[in-house]
Structure formats: structure tokens, C-alpha cells
Structure 1
Amino acid sequence: MPEVIFHIRWPDGHEERCYSPSTVIHQHLVAGHSYPLAEFVARARAGLNAASDRVAATHGHPCSRAMGQLARIEAIAARMTTQDATVFCLSLT
């Protein structure tokens, strides 16, 4: 299953390398687009859950790495003080 690395820039300027075990993340995030924080988290959640589901369908178990990535995204977003801030998707490779 082809993995995808997506790079994002958080509202505080911090850039992060994120992991998806499947190209299905391309259906949820687009390189070069900014998303309001809540929308980004929702899109990442949907994309990483779909990616994990694809792993489960192939290997019989969900992808713990995708779920760990989602947990990290949700934890960082929860610490953001400005909920109307935006997350920029730099690339998906």
C-alpha cells in the first residue's frame, strides 16, 4: 500500500511532517490549500480513518501509525488558542 507524507504548517508557524498509510488522504487534503483549524482536523480525521480502514481491509487490523498521527494532530490542535486560525497543507508526496 503506497504511503503518503503530507507536510503542514500550523497556525503558529511550526511545520510538521505527517504520515498516511494510503493515498486516500489525497481525497481529503490538497497541497497548497489553507484550512480553518477545525476543518483541517476534520479532514485529517476522515482521511486518516479511511486510510486505516484500507489497511484493516488488507491486513486484518487498523493502522496504529495512522491513528497515532491522528492523535498527534488532534492534540496539537486542541492546544491552539485561536480556533479561527488556519493550517496550510504544504505538500503531499
Structure 2
Amino acid sequence: MANIKSAKKRILVNETKAARNKAIKSRVKTAVKKVEAAVAQKDAATAKTALQAAIKEISKAGSKGVYHKNTVSRKISRLSKAVNEIA
């Protein structure tokens, strides 16, 4: 355990940020799974609505700094491509 006051504070702040990032990443993964499940069942209508929700979650995660902008673009691109192939 840290002895210096600022180091103790950094530990607490890092735990808070890690918890926030974990929650955001979990929401993104859930949204992506919903899109992939709809694509697997070849349900175009459900896939499109799930894709819109997933894009919103992924973009929000990117704007908050959880994901790099290139990662955001790649995830959105791959999901969009999968949905467009079944449409």
C-alpha cells in the first residue's frame, strides 16, 4: 500500500475510473452481442434497430475516451457490414 497521500488518492481515482470504463465496455459488448445474434438469425429488422443502439453506445464510449477513435470506427464498420450482408 502507498504511504504518500497523493499516491493513495491516485489509487482511489484509478479504481473509480476503472469501474466506469468496465461498465461502459460491458454496455458496448451487450449491444454488439444483440446485433450479432440478430445477424445470426438473419433478422434484418431487428439487426438494424440493434445496430443503431450499438452505434450509439460505441460512439459514446469513444467520446468518453474508453475506446480509441480507430477502434470505434472499426467496430461500427464491422457491425454495419454484417447487417448489410443480410439485408
- TM-score class normalised by the smaller sequence: 0.3 to 0.5
Asked which structure has the greater RCO (Cα within 8 Å, sep 6+), the reply is 1
TM-score computed with the length of structure 2 as normaliser:
0.42
TM-score computed with the length of structure 1 as normaliser:
0.40
Name the structure where strand makes up a greater proportion of residues: 1
**Which protein has the larger Cα radius of gyration, Structure 1 or Structure 2?**
2
